[in-house]
Amino acid sequence: MSRPTLFGLWKLLRSVMVAVCGLAIVVGLLPSKARSQLGLDPCCAIMSAGLNSISGLLRGAVALPLGSIQQNQQQSANFEQQVVFPLPAITQARNMALQFQSQFVQMRQLFQLPISSATLRTPQLLEQSLLSGNPGAMPQITSSYSALYGTVMPPANAPQPVRNMVDMTDAEAQAAMKKAVEIDALANLELQAAEQINQQLQTAAPGSSTILEAETAAWLVRANAYTQSAMAELVRVRSIELANSSDQVKFSASHTAALQSTGNQVLQQGVR
């Protein structure tokens, strides 16, 4: 081969060598594993590490406390369902209210049995009003009372102190009778209320039963107040009775003194 030919061949070989070296450099500069484009491989590594860290944190800082909270709440729910508010106990309490209802009705009916016993017309009228439990019948008590026990005697028949005592006694006796009618009516209403509250209890929940308990407690306070007012009336009746006894002693003393004085006068006239 001639020299120029050899020279051309050498240049060709050199160009090929340069191209191969350039390609090798480019290949060498490129990453060995292509995970992403445009040279973001370090980001992927960081992202992987970050996501791993987040995953670990979610497991440790979030999932663990949440699991614990869920466990606590489950335990709490079980405790409440099995120990605090067991359904069988609640049902049993409701059933008891159902049983009580018939007992209450029976007792109310017992107190409604007729008990009147008078045989004569005038006492019958008074007794009827007294046992009626009807506050509307109160005006009839005054007339029936007067018909049976009479009215205050006329001034000619008794001295004024005696008339006062009699009037006071009649007044208290009538008031006590009226009070008896009044509290009978109130007691009937209390019995009705008790039955109604009991009906509510048959379907009540543990949470609502306390409201019904409060309502019943209010009724109890009311009932106690009425009982107290009846007791006060009873005390007044006894007081008037005591006052009458005292008045009787006073009248006796006065009569004895008058008798003694009259006796002395008669004896003095006899001596003369």
Partner 1 sequence: MKMRALALLRTFHLRLSRSRRWLFLPVIALCLIPLNTRADGIGGILFLFHTITSTLQGPIGGALNEMRKVSAEVNDFRQQIIWPLAMINQARGFVSATRARYTGLMSQIAGIKNNSATLALPIQFESMFRGAQSGSIGQIPSIYTQVYQPVALAGIAQPGQRNLMDIDDAISMDSLKTAMVSDQTTQSMLTLADSLEQQAVAAAPGSASMVAAQACVADLETQAQLTKMLAAQLRQEATKLAHQNALLKQRSVATQNLQNQIQQVLAHP
Q: Which residue among 26, 34, 267, 271 contacts partner 1 (CB under 8 A)?
A: 26
* Pairwise CA distance, residues 242 & 263, whole Å: 31
> Token pair 């594993």 is at which residue?
33
Compare residues 96 and 253 and give the one whose CB is closer to partner 1. Answer: 96
Tell me: does residue 258 bind partner 1 (CB under 8 A): no
**CB 214 → partner 1: shortest distance, Å?**
9
Q: Which residue among 86, 139, 161, 263 contacts partner 1 (CB under 8 A)?
A: 86
**CB 264 → partner 1: shortest distance, Å?**
20
**Residue list 211-240, contact with partner 1 (CB under 8 A):** 212-213, 216-217, 219-220, 223-224, 226-227, 230-231, 233-234, 237-238, 240
* Pairwise CA distance, residues 17 & 84, whole Å: 90
Site size for partner 1 (CB under 8 A): 132
Tell me: does residue 84 bind partner 1 (CB under 8 A): yes
**Residue list 111-130, contact with partner 1 (CB under 8 A):** 111, 113, 115-120, 122-124, 126-127, 130
Chain centre distance of CA 100: 18
Q: Which residue among 134, 140, 142, 244 contacts partner 1 (CB under 8 A)?
A: 244
